[in-house]
Amino acid sequence: MSIQIIGVIGSGQMGQGIAQVMACAGYQVQLVDSSASALDKAVVSIRHSIDKLTSKGVLDADNDYLASIQCSTELTSLASADLVIEAATESEKVKIAIFQELATVCQGSTLFASNTSSLSITRLAASIPNPERMIGMHFMNPVPLMKLVEIIEGLQTAVTTRDAVMEVAKNAGKIAIAVKDRAGFVLNRILLPMINESIFVFEEGCASAEQIDQIMVLGAGHPIGPLALADLIGLDTCLSIMDVLHTQFGDSKYRAAPLLRQMVDAGQLGKKVGQGFYRYGN
């Protein structure tokens, strides 16, 4: 199928990035969020990101990419979308409610993709008519810079759906890798336990946050330390993924570090709120 109009639900960090890369790839984008003020902030952030990439010669200075992004607070604005990418909060209940409403708004041929970092695509698909059109598109943060997109096929996902979203990801300059629908998929099933273990090490007083991150950068060649990365991802998201892994696999090695749960309870969610393992200014 020909995809020209892409809806993006959620104007947070991930939704902003997805909307930006799709607009820069030549798609018409409808960015939807329940909060008008969140949409206003998203437009400012997207403009800043585009300007930064333009100044570095990555994007064409003569192209008004932002003009390809329209904003709305209503899901009904996605009625003509060919593909809708959901980037809402990491909650199965919330995502299912969104897709069930989309199923009443969009055409039967509209493809649905979730940017979930750990939840079952098969379970999401089972909640809507025509489940063969549901797939996972797990983008990495920050979306404009990170090349990988995990493409997650649910049990019901059609080959045509997979091929169509693989082509969209390719057009957006990403490297799309198709993986099976397992808890945490591939990246987060490997990455999050490493971050979680780093939190255990910190909690035990083995080293400071700075030292742990420095050791992993200098000793393991990581571009960013695990605790700084946890702050970037969001500690609430990290906890959600660990809980999914623990529930789905029933293995104690996926037990979330108590400090991680405490920090989330305290609202210390990382960079997006200015406080996590590090403090962040404006």
Number of H helices, E strands in the chain: 10, 8
* Cis? peptide before 142, omega within 30° of 0: yes
Residue numbers annotated as active site: 117, 138, 150, 188
Q: How far apart (Å, rounded) are the C-alpha atoms in residues 83 and 7?
A: 6
Residue in the block written with tokens 């969140």: 38
The C-alpha torsion from 204 through 205 and 210 to 213, rounded to 10°, is -30
Q: How far apart (Å, rounded) are the C-alpha atoms in residues 135 and 112?
A: 6
**Looking at residue 66, what DSSP letter applies?**
G
